[in-house]
Structure 1
Amino acid sequence: MDIFTLIRTKYNTLSQTQKKIADWILEHGNEIILMSIGEIAAKCSTSEATVMRFLRKLGFDSYQLFKVKVAQDIVDVTPRAVYEDVSSEDSVNEIKQKVIQSTIDAIRDIDKLIEDSTIEKAIEIMANAKRIFFFGVGASGAIAKDAFHKFLRLGINTIYCSDSHIMSIMCSHMTEKDAVLAISHSGESREIIDAIELAKENKAKVISFTSYPNSTLAKLSDVVFLSATKETKFRSDAMVSRIVQCVIIDILYVSLVLKLGSEAIVNVNKSRLAVAKKKK
């Protein structure tokens, strides 16, 4: 994983001061190889010790090793063009280009952020589940409903819910044969956590989508898909994370279709025919 992707995927685990250092590095990556740690600290209005704590969080024991990694990655990446934030002085074209680029980068990060084995484990759970529940509230509820709509086409027993009371009631009756796909950007939504705790008590399998690896939801889950992104001044990390979540859902959907084989293809075609007559 290149250093700039690493910073972005760990961004939501950083303190406010560390995020300031991360922002500066993402926007000035080309300059780092000629700078001392003291100069970076000065640019970020912090101390060398704070910069070192930031580097250790990324897995580096020394500033020199970090600089070597930056030098290696800078050949293939142009950080300022990629990570520069939108400003109030930008033209519509500049805003368009920056939003498109940040979204592309977030999607590309999926390849480095999510292991193939994680996808395989989730598919195994879904393929063997008697019922699959899709939970989310607010903006996450929209993503959960999109996932429900996709997997419903496969002819499997899928259920969608965004009502906290009904989610909890459903989870109180789950068994080890059930699976829940729960979506919460923060991983701390009380509505979701209350329901998932009940699901776990009943030994149901839990697949979660969140941007925070140390969140309560992540800790309760059998499989965790991280959708971490870098928040900017005019665009919250939750906005881009929803796009990332949709892409991951598509990966799961296609993978499950292939695992289920010809029966799934037949069911997808049946679903298409069922709604075809509703179109002119």
Structure 2
Amino acid sequence: MNNQSTGAKTLLWIESHYNSLTKTEKKVADLVLHNKEKVVYSSVTDLAEMAATGETTVLRFCRKLGFRGFQEFKLAVAQDLVSPNENVHGKIDENDKIEDIAQKMTSSNSQALKDTLSLLQRKELQKAVDALLSKKRIFFFGVASSGVTAMDAHYRFMRLGFQTFCASDSHVIAMNCALTGPEDVVFGISTSGSTKDLVDAIQLADANGATIVCLTNHARSPITQYADAVLLASSKETPLQGGAFASKLAQIHVLDILSTIVALRRKEETFQAIEKTTKSVVGKLY
């Protein structure tokens, strides 16, 4: 059992893999997500009939999520239901009071951070940390809203004393990736994991031998095909919500965890870098 050993909750894992599922596998996923209590008491045949698919589709769906079979998958769903996530934020209505909106948004964003923690895999974090500590240069790339997140990451790691670069323009990203090599880390940030301009450039860097780290919301999106380490953030975002703050909060949370681990692994260099950068701007404050 793979994904559960990392602490990821099964229902979150399904959502993260959803876009990579086949049409028939999505039928199974939809049924599980909306009728999870029924799934716990169903046989593989029952579930196949309810989803109007074959038993082989159900088994393929379970294995794609990292389970050995249906029974292991069903057990994981049952464990999720022992302490289900409360949908405490509810739907925001135009007639809600200001304080109710603030409460619902806070609950929703807090849940996004908790879900992100559930999806983070220790071994993937370790691979990202090892890469950042062992390579000479770090390139942070993202397009549109993810480009803003890339700038935040660049700023944070620069202050920790790393040689970092950042770009959000697709042409500049492509040219930078074409010039990378084995001593570089290319850190691609994409909520969808399917932004063609970024994925195509990442492919160039991968061919050049650079170490690829990606931060995305979708575990089997195109960008992950080239990644040496995959960091997952959790946030529900429809096509009409591109750049939603919840997605950005989840991504920043992952970067905060990652940068803190890295800083603790090289405390002396980090302290010196922070001290130097702080002194360099102290005269610019009143």
TM-score, length basis structure 1: 0.79
CA 1:48–1:259 in structure 2 vs 1: closer, same or farther (change >3 Å)?
Answer: same
Contact conserved, 2:10 with 2:76, CA < 8 A, in 1? no
1:95 paired with 2:104, answer no
CA 1:104–1:19 in structure 2 vs 1: closer, same or farther (change >3 Å)?
Answer: farther
1:81 paired with 2:88, answer yes
Q: Identify the residue that residue 156 of structure 1 maps to in structure 2.
A: 162
Match of 1:7 among 7, 11, 16: 11
Q: Identify the residue that residue 259 of structure 2 maps to in structure 1.
A: 253
Q: Once the two structures are superposed, what CA deviation does each residue of 1:183-237 show, in whole Å capped at 9, x if it has no partner? A: 1111121221221111111101111011122211111111111113234799668
Q: Identify the residue that residue 200 of structure 1 maps to in structure 2.
A: 206
Match of 2:122 among 109, 116, 122: 116
Distance 1:132 1:224 in 2: 16
Q: Identify the residue that residue 249 of structure 2 maps to in structure 1.
A: 243
Distance 1:54 1:269 in 2: 56
CA 1:70–1:273 in structure 2 vs 1: closer, same or farther (change >3 Å)?
Answer: same
Superposition pairs for residues 17-166 of structure 1, below 5 Å? 21=31, 24=34, 32=37, 48-50=50-52, 57=62, 61=70, 66=74, 73-77=80-84, 79-81=86-88, 84-166=90-172
1:274 paired with 2:280, answer yes
Distance 1:249 1:95 in 2: 27
Q: Identify the residue that residue 44 of structure 1 maps to in structure 2.
A: none
- Quote the offset at 1:124 in angstroms: 0.9
CA 1:275–1:9 in structure 2 vs 1: closer, same or farther (change >3 Å)?
Answer: farther
Distance 1:88 1:234 in 2: 18
More displaced stretch, 229-238 vs 186-195: 229-238
What is the letter of the counterpart of residue 257 of structure 1? A
What is the letter of the counterpart of residue 122 of structure 1? A
- Quote the offset at 1:116 in angstroms: 1.8
Structure 2: state its 5+ residue gaps. none
Contact conserved, 1:8 with 1:230, CA < 8 A, in 2? no
Q: Identify the residue that residue 209 of structure 1 maps to in structure 2.
A: 215
Q: SS at 1:186's partner residue? A: coil
Contact conserved, 1:123 with 1:256, CA < 8 A, in 2? yes
Structure 1: state its 5+ residue gaps. 42-46
What is the letter of the counterpart of residue 115 of structure 1? Q
- Quote the offset at 1:259 in angstroms: 1.3
Root-mean-square deviation over aligned CA pairs: 3.6
Q: Once the two structures are superposed, what CA deviation does each residue of 1:163-186 show, in whole Å capped at 9, x if it has no partner? A: 211221112121100111111111
CA 1:18–1:229 in structure 2 vs 1: closer, same or farther (change >3 Å)?
Answer: farther
Q: SS at 2:108's partner residue? A: helix
Q: Once the two structures are superposed, what CA deviation does each residue of 1:133-154 show, in whole Å capped at 9, x if it has no partner? A: 1111100000000000000112
More displaced stretch, 145-154 vs 16-25: 16-25
Distance 1:206 1:253 in 2: 17
Distance 2:208 2:163 in 1: 19
- Quote the offset at 1:9 in angstroms: 3.8
Contact conserved, 1:228 with 1:237, CA < 8 A, in 2? no
Contact conserved, 1:167 with 1:195, CA < 8 A, in 2? yes
CA 1:78–1:177 in structure 2 vs 1: closer, same or farther (change >3 Å)?
Answer: closer
